């Protein structure tokens, strides 16, 4: 299974970019052993439209155009489910074992994701009830993907 992260906004040079790169490197090294073959991160510029709905719609168009057509979409949204790391690992391993080729995580910009993407997603995932900056959500997602890999491999990184 290939993992794709499609995100609105770019990580600037600094601590978050360095942290994200560290987790991406770990995922690249350990993922294949867990059947997660590759990680692709694609960044898209925030839309400049004057209205919120137009900005979200323009950003959604970019994300939809970039995703693999048959990929399972997971939308990161504050209205989503708060899954434990073990439950997320279980869900990802089920999709992997069912022969799914692509798992696509969608991260919106400062205004969030367009509601159409949230409705289309197979899973809507939240990292708690708080609202997080989209740049930080990317780092948190990368950490969770790495944690999922370690859980699937029986590595002691995760502690209950």
Domains by residue range for the chain, with CATH: 2-153 (3.40.1280.10)
Q: 7 falls in which pLDDT band (50, 70, 90)?
A: very high
Q: Which of 31-35, 125-129, 134-138 has the highest mean pLDDT?
A: 31-35
pLDDT of residue 148: 97
pLDDT, position 130: 87
**What is this structure's pTM?**
0.95
**Average pLDDT, integer, range 110-115:** 94
Looking at residue 158, its pLDDT comes to 76
Per-residue pLDDT at 116 exceeds 90 = yes
Tell me the mean pLDDT in the region 81-107.
97
Q: In the prediction, which pLDDT does 99 show?
A: 96
pLDDT above 90 for 122: yes
What is the 3 state secondary structure string of the chain?
Answer: CEEEEEEECCCCCCHHHHHHHHHHHHHHHHHHHHCCCEEEEEEECCCCCCCHHHHHHHHHHHHHHHCCCCCEEEEEEEEEECCCHHHHHHHHHHHHHCCCCEEEEEECECCECCHHHHHHCCEEECCCCCCCCHHHHHHHHHHHHHHHHHHHHCCCCCCC
Q: What percent of the chain has pLDDT over 90?
A: 89
């Amino acid at each position: 299974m290939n993992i794709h992260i499609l995100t609105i906004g770019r990580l600037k040079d600094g601590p978050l970019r360095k942290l994200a790169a560290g987790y991406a490197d770990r995922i690249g090294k350990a993922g294949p052993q867990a059947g997660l073959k590759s990680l692709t991160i694609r960044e898209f510029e925030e839309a400049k439209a004057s209205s919120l709905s137009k900005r979200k719609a323009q950003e959604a168009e970019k994300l939809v155009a970039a995703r693999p057509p048959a990929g399972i979409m997971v939308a990161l949204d504050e209205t989503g489910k708060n899954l434990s790391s073990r439950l997320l690992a279980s869900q990802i391993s089920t999709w992997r074992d069912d022969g799914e080729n692509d798992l696509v995580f969608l991260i919106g910009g400062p205004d969030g994701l367009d509601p159409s993407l949230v409705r289309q997603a197979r899973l809507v995932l939240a990292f708690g009830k708080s609202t997080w900056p989209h740049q930080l959500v990317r780092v948190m997602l990368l950490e969770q993907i790495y944690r999922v890999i370690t859980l699937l491999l029986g590595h002691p990184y995760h502690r209950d």
